[in-house]
Amino acid sequence: ETVEDGKIVSVADKEGNTYSGVQIGNQCWMAENLRATQYSDGTAIPLGTTTTTSSDTAHRYYPNSNQINVDEYGYLYNWQAATKGLSSNLNSGKGVQGACPRGWHIPTNDEWTAMETEVNGAPVTYHDNITYGGTHGGKLATGCAWRDTTAAQSPGNYTFAERNASGFGALPA
């Protein structure tokens, strides 16, 4: 992990892939999808497809079925692969490491709720020193690449300045 000013700014997995981190409230979130092809213990995560691999079989797959998308979007993992086959419901208050790098875990429902409350609650001043109100979708979305829309609560319905107020930078995929 790389730490600056007491905050985690990046983390590396067993394969040397590095991922940026972002502080939201008192939590640190990995701000990128994983590109791992193996678990932290070295066990391979099989490559499958969305159309030919059973959802009961752990596998990762290419975003939009195209290998070139992995560099920008990371792999997509089905639930079995993300959790390494553990059948935790994440309501237990204990995160599951699964495909995450050592020391990280899949967020529990309580952790998701805390993040959503932090981002969506009362107007908050984020990393860019601007205060925002509203819903959390646009505040988590990257500032560019979203299709503009008038759909309520869509990231594309936020001004460029409002998008990514949290620093999370979610890409449209």
55-97 pLDDT, tens digit each: 788 999 999 899 999 998 999 999 899 999 886 566 666 778 8
b/e per residue, 51-86, with b = 16+ CB within 10 A? eebeeeebbbbbbeeeeeebeebbbbbbebbbbbee
pLDDT for 8: 64
pLDDT for 35: 95
pLDDT for 7: 61
What is the per-residue pLDDT across 54-64, written as a single tens digit (0 to 9) for each? Answer: 778 899 999 98
pLDDT for 159: 62
pLDDT for 49: 80
pLDDT for 95: 76
Distance, CA of 131 to CA of 124 (rounded, Å): 5
pLDDT for 52: 72
pLDDT for 133: 47
All residue ranges of the chain with pLDDT < 70 are 1-8, 87-93, 121-138, 143-147, 149, 151-164, 173
Q: What are the residue ranges of helices labelled H in 24-156?
A: 70-73, 79-82, 109-120, 136-140
